[in-house]
Each structure stands twice: as C-alpha cells, then as structure tokens.
Structure 1
Amino acid sequence: MSPILDQLTADIALALAPDSSSAKAAQKLARPSGWPTLARDGDVLWGECQGSGAHPYLVGVDARSAEIASKCSCPSRKFPCKHALGLLLLHAARVGEWQASSPPPDLARWLGGRVARAEKAAQPPDDQPADPTAQAKAQAKAQAARDRKRSAGLEDLEVWLSDLVREGLQAARARPYGDWDRQAARLVDAQLAGAARQVRQLPELLHEGRADPGGEALTAHLGQLWLLTQGWRVRDTLGAAERADLLTALGAPLDRASLPPAAPQVWQALGSVQEEEGKLNVRRTWLLGEGQPGEEPRLALLLDFAPAGQALPLPLAPQQPFTAAVAYAPSAHAQRAILQGEAAVAATPLPLPGGTLAELQERYAAALALNPWLERIGAFVGPAYLHLDPPQLCDAEGHAVPLSARVEQADLWVMLAQAETQMRTYFGEWDGVTFLPIGAVSTEVGRPGAAGTLHEPGVPA
C-alpha cells in the first residue's frame, strides 16, 4: 500500500488544489452521500461522484508515485478537479463505504498509459545520429546565429536604457505602456525572454503610488538590466557557472538532457508558489534534501510552466518525503533543479534546519555575490512571530523584515491562528526586500536538527 494514501491528511489533500475555489468546492463534495461508489485498488483510488446530471462522474487518483495524478470525466480543465480533491478528502477522513475493487476500463487504460509513459521516459535513447560531426557543425551554426540575434538585441537594449536614464524618471513615468511592450517584444524576437520580462516589470516601479520615493528599487532594476548587457559583452571571459547564470537571466531554456545523472537521495517538498508571468503560469516548488553525509541539508527549486489557460502538472505532495534523483542546473549558486525519473515515497520526514532574521540579508548577499541576477532565495527563519500593522515577521531580538505584498490579509489571520501564542520557524522566499512565507513549523520541532510538520499558510494546521 502507498504511504501517501496511508498518511494522507486533509491538509495534504487541500494543498494539491490548483486554487482556493477548487479547495472550497472539494470540501463541499467530501460527503459520502454524494458518492455511489468509493473504491481503492492498491495505490489507486477511484469512485463515482453524483453531480447535477443523470450519470455520475468517474474519478480516479493515481498515488503510485510521489507525483499524485488524477483523471475525471467532468468537463473541468483544472488538475486536480474538485471531484478528485473530494475523493482524496473522503479517504483522508476515512469516511464512507470503501470497497476493494479494480477500476473500470476507462480508468484502467489511463493508468496503463501512465505506466507505459514512465517506462518509456526511463529508457535511454537508442537512436544515435548518423553523422555526429555534421550534427555538431549544425549545432554550432545554430548557436552562432542565436548569439548574433542576442548581441543585436542587447546592443539595442543598452541604447534604450541610456536614453531612459538620460531623459529622467519623470519623463519615463509619462511614457505610454506601449513603449515598454514594444521594447519587450524586440527582446523576445532576439531570444532574450528573461530580459523582456524585466522590462515589462519597469512600469510597476515607475508608478507614483509605489512606496519607493527615492527610486531605489527602480535604480536597482535598471542596474540589473544594464549588468546583463555588460555581462554579455564579456561572456567569453566568464567561467562555465557564471556564463550559465547569465544565459538563464537572459531567458535561455535549461537543457535538461545535458545534466549529468544525480544520485538518489531523500527529499521533502516544503511548499510552492504559483503566479502568472505574461502568458505563462509559473509554479516554484521548494525541496529540502538530506545532503551528503557530513553536509547540511540542501534546498532545491523546481520550476513548472504552462501557457495561460492550461493546467500545470500536478504538484508534489507537500510534507511527504520521497526518494528521487534531483539534478542541479549549472550555476555559481546552485538552486534551480529538476527531477530525474520517478520519485519513490519515503517514510521518514527530514529534520528541518534553522535560521535567524539577522542572518537573512547576509545569506542573500552571499548568494548575490555569486549570481548577481538571482531574484530570490529560500530560507528558514525563526523563532519569529507575525505582526499585522505593518505586515512584518519579527523576532525576540528586535529584528523585523516586511512581508511580501502577495500575502493577503486573510492569510495573515490564518497564520496567526495557526501560531496561537507560539513563536514559529517559517520557510519562505526572500528577495532582498520582502519575505513571502510558504510554510511554518512550531519552535518545539523547528529547531535545527529536529523534525516537524511544515504547514502552508492559509491551510489549517
């Protein structure tokens, strides 16, 4: 039997919801009276949920790996849908009349297809190029063409930035939004999607209502863009790791196939953040790894992308340890990573490391010294407590950091209720200015070397 299903809780099930409305709808469906059939077949749950139509929806959940997948006959484009979440909640609550039964043919075909795809992905490619020399020449030619486009695009960006600074901030505030969009579009055409995204962020920094009267945030942002142009000029003098960071900041895609195989280790998902970037939905999932013997635990960041209007892949179950090969992308500050192959469920949670607010900026500065285009780091901080007005994370020594504007007031109240009167250790993202909480653990189990349960903000503990 699957440890995921045997250890499933309502918190874990709700954390898989693609949005808050799906979570609320699933809670309403988590009543046995609406399910004519509830069944489990090993590591697979399935059932029939009676909707408003004549025929019930057929729902299946595959928990044979750490990446829980679902399928439903309903028309929803969300994954998992409210029916799959409702099925998980019913199983977590151990309510309803569950039977041991194989899934019907439609779900069996889906489950078999998942197995076949996993086996195919695990097989090494057997098709070797007919002429490796010719292929290498073609790749070098294509790379030279990309570099020429990028050089032209960054030269154009350098001139544009010089004009922007020369005209002054007041003139920049009067520019129509079309000016920023046109410059971003030129950078996209030059295969510089990362630089284009930073240009699209400029109007937010120019807005007069922003709490940046001295223009420090705008100046820092323009400095990062300028540093991209200068880094490209001297790219041939950079080391392999620094060059990789430069290409990542410019928007070059990660070549997953080029990453060497990693050794399997125990990991644990700490939580995730989902946001929209232009026409993409992006999810950042943070992992904690046990590290090598004698080493401190390591953090890894997984990125998932999907076009707007399409669902992201199902997230890893939060708090659930798993064994997997996690390979880090080349970087002077190793953080971005990918999963190689399947993840197998592990039983023992990892000990959570500690950290203090006083050390937070120092750790971020050390990371920036290695990668000047780094946007955020993951960090454990505590013991600390939340302050509502202004929204801050504070500790007993008098240190405080502002919370991200992305934290809703309602989420703050939920986190305060979870904390009760206890100091807690929080895990979240720090961008050098604000802290975005992703999870929290009470100080009794959050001290270095102790294991604990990390709760996501907004999800009842």
Structure 2
Amino acid sequence: MPPILDQLTADTALALAPDSSSARAAQKLARPAGWPKLARDGNVLWGECQGSGTHPYLVGVDARNAEIASKCSCPSRKFPCKHALGLLLLHAARAGEWKDSSPPPDLVKWLGGRVARTEKAAQSPGDDADPAARARAQAKAQATRDRKRSAGLEDLEVWLSDLVREGLQAARARPYVDWDRQAARLVDAQLAGAARLVRQIPGLLHDETGQALTAHLGQLWLLTQGWRQRDALGEAERADLLTALGAPLDRASLPQAAPQVWQALGSVQEEEGKLNVRRTWLLGEGSPGEEPKLALLLDFAPTGQALPLPLAPQQPFTAALAYAPSAYAQRALVQGEVSVAAAPLPLPGGTLAELQERYAVALALNPWLERIGAFVGPAYLHLDPPQLCDAEGHAVPLSERVEQADLWAMLAQAETRMQTYFGEWDGVTFLPIGAVSMEASQPEAAGTLHEPGVPA
C-alpha cells in the first residue's frame, strides 16, 4: 500500500480536524510564508510555524500507520491543533520548499515513545501466566459485571414502571437532572448503551402523539426483559443484547475474514455526548448469485480529538472485513492492510415501497437496531416538505439532520435526472448519504454528511 502521506488530500486532512474552527484556522495557516522550515522524514512531517511570539512553534505529524498523530509546542489542547492541520494541508498541496531531514531531538523522543507504546500494546498480557488462573480470573470478572448489570437493570425496570404510571404530563415536568441521574446510575452499572437511551428521552417528550416516546420506552423495557432471559437466547441474539446494553466489542474473538473488494459509499459524522462518532458505509461484492452486501464501520474519538483518517468515498479497495456477531450483521471491522482496487462495484437498487418491509425484517432479527443502510431509486428529492419521492407516488420524509445546503447541493448534482440514493433509514426518516445518476454507471458524488459545526 502506498505511504499514507502520498495519498493525503486536503479533504482528508480537514476531516481530521476536531472542530470547524480548527479547520478554518488551519486553512489560513496553510501558506508557505508562515513556515520558515518544512521537512519530511519518511512518513513523518515536521516544520516550524511562525506565530505571534518570538520563537516559532515546532510541529510534528506521525503518519507511519493509519492513526495519524501530531505534536506541537503550542498551548492548544486540541488534537490535531491548527498548526498540525496546516502542515498536513501544505503537504497535500505540495506547497512550500520541503527538505528531507530528520526531526529535532524533541520530536525524535516523542516518535520513539509512540513506537514503544505501540509495541507494548501489541504484546499479549499474561502470555506466561497459568491458563487455568487466567480463565478463573476472567470468570470472576464476568460474574462481577453480570451482578452489577443485573442490579442496574432491576433499578431501571422499577424506574420505567414509575415513569409510565405517572404519565406523559408528569414526565414533561421532570427536571433534566432526573434523566441525568438515572443515566449516571446505569453508567455505574456498566450499562452505557441503556444510559444513552435514557438521555434521549427528553428530546421525545414534546411529541403530542407520544408514539416515539412509547416506542423508545419499549426498547428500554425490552432490554430489562432480554437480560432476564439472556440464558435462553441464541449466541447472535445475546450479542445484540450486550451491544444494546453498551458492552464493548471483543475484537480479538472475531474470526479472520478473507480479503475481497469493498467500496465506501459515504459516511455520517456526529456528536454523541463526549464522543465524535463517524459511521462509514461500505458496499461489498457478493458471492455469485447473491446480492452485494453492506458493512458499517464505526470510528470514535473524544471531543476535541480527531477521528482516524477516513476512507476515500467511492474508491474501491481490497481488504478483509470481519462482521461483529449479530442476528442482523451490519457492523464490521477491517482486518489487516487495505489496498486500492481498480474497478468500482455495481450498485444495487431498491424501492421506497420495500424500505419499511426491509426495516421490519431487520427489527425482527434485532429489536434494538437503530438504522439500516438502504439503496432507493429511481427517486428524486423534494424540498418543501423535505422528502424522497419516486415516480409511483411513494414518499418518505428526510431526516432533520440533513442541512438545507446539503439538499441544494444534491439537487444541483441531480439536475433533472432520477437518481438512486443510498442512505440510512430509521423506520421514520431517510438520511441520504450518496447518490448515483440513473443515466450513469459511475457514482457521481458521495462523501461525508456533516453535522453543523463539523468541517466538510
């Protein structure tokens, strides 16, 4: 695979920005005149950026693996800071006079520390320990987690019963601290997924019909009952339950997958609490006689820190992807190296009439599923009200997360042609992510749909 820096573009560099203000500031800094020194040492960039002080800031970027890291002598607590982003933008534009030169001692020490930490993390802890002792320790830790979860879900069951008995009007009168307090108790019980669902309740209280709130509370209640019946569930169903409760994915337990061709369809980036989350959807070639398959990659980063380098939209690549255990498999993890492939994959179709049926099939397998990826077309966008429509008269509302500017951009791209759209369907609204003209065999555009305040 070519070095990461040689594939870097301005768009992928800006996608690393922790927020939109950092992206704008970096674009202003990406001028060679402000950099008295620019250098590269393999997949390490470094330079000096002249700020308002007497001495320039020393900036370094480590791109020796897919997780790009940076270090800067500026006081910013954002990672990467505007200076590191500016350095990446300069390199992506091939602007300025770059020299092949080793970094100064401060950066050499930082780079060496990163290598040491990577090697330490790669070592399997306890390899020399007694296997039987490790198994006993793991069983003891699991039993402790299960007791905490059982207590937390019993508490949640009582809390939900009181909430329903008091009624919708009483729930609307509750202060926000009540929801936060219950969510905090669930976090303490190692039930982060249930806590996230509780924090979402206040946003559903103002719907006069109460339908969305009732369905949401039903999901929470189902978690409590699913945990009670966990021993009777199949392996895939138990995995979905644990995922909904917030249990982390055991990456080491996933079987090794065979490499095949995939293609990024686009991504959605948004904030969830103190985390930045990016969902990237992939299309994979199916076996002969089978439909192409979809896969969902999830990336997380704390607020103020950058997400990993994104996959290039619509660029086919070859990689091994392992699906996480689930009765309705969507989430996947990339295993090993990614290499560029030549030919794009043919895109499947789908109709608006089939959309809800597909979602119902998925929910029957995993009742805590929040969304599915779906192709819809031929279809067109309607602005007032925001809808996705087809020639047969079917229409579905677009998600409120779609910005008006994004809609106008998609309309301008489509011109007067019908399109096939790919997006996320949550059973109520459609969030378009990419589109392909019905008159063209190649995707015209797809990329990252950004929430307000996230750099495009």
TM-score with structure 1 length normalisation?
A: 0.84
- What is the deviation of 1:173? 1.9
Report the counterpart of residue 455 of structure 1 in structure 2. 447
Residue 439 and residue 57 in structure 1: after superposition, are their counterparts in 2 closer, same or farther (change >3 A)? farther
- What is the deviation of 1:201? 1.3
- 1:58 alignment partner, SS class: strand
1:118-157 alignment runs, 5 A limit: 118-122=118-122, 127-130=127-130, 132-157=131-156
- What is the deviation of 1:324? 4.5
Query: Which 10-residue stretch deviates more, 168-177 or 345-354?
Result: 345-354
Q: What is the distance in 1 between the residues matched to 2:92 and 2:301?
A: 29
Residue 37 and residue 127 in structure 1: after superposition, are their counterparts in 2 closer, same or farther (change >3 A)? same
Q: What is the distance in 2 between the residues matched to 1:171 and 1:213?
A: 14
Aligned AA (1:198): L
- What is the deviation of 1:265? 4.4
- What is the deviation of 1:392? 2.6
Once the two structures are superposed, what CA deviation does each residue of 1:396-418 show, in whole Å capped at 9, x if it has no partner? 44433322222333443444455
Aligned AA (2:14): L
- What is the deviation of 1:267? 4.5
Residue 426 and residue 121 in structure 1: after superposition, are their counterparts in 2 closer, same or farther (change >3 A)? farther
Once the two structures are superposed, what CA deviation does each residue of 1:35-81 show, in whole Å capped at 9, x if it has no partner? 22333444443333222222222333344444444333333233333
Q: What is the distance in 1 between the residues matched to 2:378 and 2:109?
A: 50
Report the counterpart of residue 253 of structure 2 in structure 1. 258
2:282 is equivalent to residue 288 of structure 1: yes
Report the counterpart of residue 202 of structure 2 in structure 1. 203
Query: Which 10-residue stretch deviates more, 222-231 or 77-86?
Result: 77-86
Report the counterpart of residue 425 of structure 2 in structure 1. 430
Report the counterpart of residue 161 of structure 1 in structure 2. 160
How many residues are aligned here? 450
Residue 351 and residue 111 in structure 1: after superposition, are their counterparts in 2 closer, same or farther (change >3 A)? farther
1:162-177 alignment runs, 5 A limit: 162-177=161-176
Aligned AA (1:60): G
Q: What is the distance in 2 between the residues matched to 1:321 and 1:57?
A: 39
Check conservation: 2:184, 2:195, Cα contact below 8 A.
Answer: yes
- 2:446 alignment partner, SS class: coil
Check conservation: 2:434, 2:445, Cα contact below 8 A.
Answer: no
Report the counterpart of residue 227 of structure 1 in structure 2. 222
Q: What is the distance in 1 between the residues matched to 2:49 and 2:128?
A: 49
Check conservation: 1:281, 1:305, Cα contact below 8 A.
Answer: yes
Residue 128 and residue 66 in structure 1: after superposition, are their counterparts in 2 closer, same or farther (change >3 A)? same
Residue 383 and residue 101 in structure 1: after superposition, are their counterparts in 2 closer, same or farther (change >3 A)? farther
Report the counterpart of residue 315 of structure 1 in structure 2. 309
- What is the deviation of 1:284? 2.8
Report the counterpart of residue 29 of structure 2 in structure 1. 29
Long gaps (5+) in structure 2: none
Check conservation: 1:185, 1:196, Cα contact below 8 A.
Answer: yes
- 2:370 alignment partner, SS class: coil
CA RMSD, 1 decimal: 3.3
2:354 is equivalent to residue 362 of structure 1: no
2:297 is equivalent to residue 302 of structure 1: yes
Residue 289 and residue 422 in structure 1: after superposition, are their counterparts in 2 closer, same or farther (change >3 A)? closer
Identical amino acids, percent of aligned pairs: 79
Q: What is the distance in 2 between the residues matched to 1:354 and 1:443?
A: 12
- What is the deviation of 1:373? 0.3
- 1:188 alignment partner, SS class: helix
Report the counterpart of residue 48 of structure 2 in structure 1. 48
Aligned AA (1:10): A
Check conservation: 1:272, 1:283, Cα contact below 8 A.
Answer: no
Residue 454 and residue 352 in structure 1: after superposition, are their counterparts in 2 closer, same or farther (change >3 A)? farther
Long gaps (5+) in structure 1: none
